[in-house]
Chain A
Amino acid sequence: MGEVLVVTSGKGGVGKTTTTANLGTSLAMSGNKVALVDADIGLRNLDVVMGLENRIVYDLVDVVEGFCRLKQALIKDKRMESLYLLPAAQTKDKTAVTPDQMRGLCQELRGEFDFVLIDSPAGIEQGFRNAVAGADKAIIVTTPEVAAVRDADRIIGLLEAANMRSPHLIINRMRPSMVRRGDMMDIEDMLEILAVDLLGVVPEDEQIVISTNRGEPAVLSHSSKAGEAYRDITRRLQGEVVPIQPLALDGGIFQRLRKIMGFGQN
């Protein structure tokens, strides 16, 4: 039986979809059978980030309404043999699905896959409730911003109320240089408020913009720093102990060198 993980955040734009795409791809790269589920009905994006937009025939709503079988709606990834996507419907909205239907869907997927990753919509309304309904565990994505951390805290509270304890936290778009100057919340600050397990820290990386636009997850590229962080997170998800990269924690040697050389103000 596979594990169902929901990727959620409360706030929009912190990188839920990017995280789902990268973790899913990376889990598949390490030999797991993985299903990605886009629960953001009406505003689907995961297919675009995965570069699978032009292969969609059926979607999640078609499956829960019985228009097609689950197997028909699952799109096989173009690079990875063991990676599948269940796209969201674009012409419907969040009310097209109920939490019970999502639970049933997750149950069915769990039998087929090692990991099921659900990409949650932003917000705390029905879309969020649908996304978390069938999940065993939650991965909370936040960025080092006060508003994002506040929303993450709200989400953790809601998950606790729904009896989903001990979520994992991913801090996305960290900029070590800004933290060093005291212009950005540091990891300690965030963990003190959220008091949950840290699964990983993903540095801000321009390559992410390029890779999401091209529909090629960053974990596929070995030059991407964010991709490297996502690969580490994948190993942690599978139970390996991988230290959090010191680079993400404190600026790294380049920053330090630049500072010494006198043009460190960036």
Chain B
Amino acid sequence: MDGDSRIPILRMGRLLLVTIQVDMHDRMAVALQEDLTGQIVRTGATGVLIDISALDLVDSFIGRMLADIAAMARVLDAATVVVGMRPAVAITLVELGLSLEGVQTALNVERGMALLPSVATEPDADEGEDEDDGPVSEADAAPAR
């Protein structure tokens, strides 16, 4: 719960994997959103997997953050899958009135990966290593799916 701690983002080829394991406060959620969009652009990622199986609560703020990440990623031509939401959390979100429209979901990381077929299988070797900071044009060429 350290004020400046950030959620780590793991990169696997063209996939970004985020495992949220702490009860995030709002600034942390906002920081994650910024970090992720930055990383998508920097790495030319085409898929984002967010594992929330450790979260025992998703309130409207975190829910909105997830929906926003998915929407922003879409604009940047990356697909987002939120995986591992617990039953009690899902029931509560529905009751709260949040349906996370436009967010793909899966039961676990493995099934989530399967929803992003072009990603984990063939990481584009040269482009993968390319630490280009500017807007990545390869991302435009990527949608070979």
Bound together:
no
Q: Which residues of B contact A (CB under 8 A)?
A: none
Question: Which A residues are closer than 8 A to B by beta carbons?
Answer: none
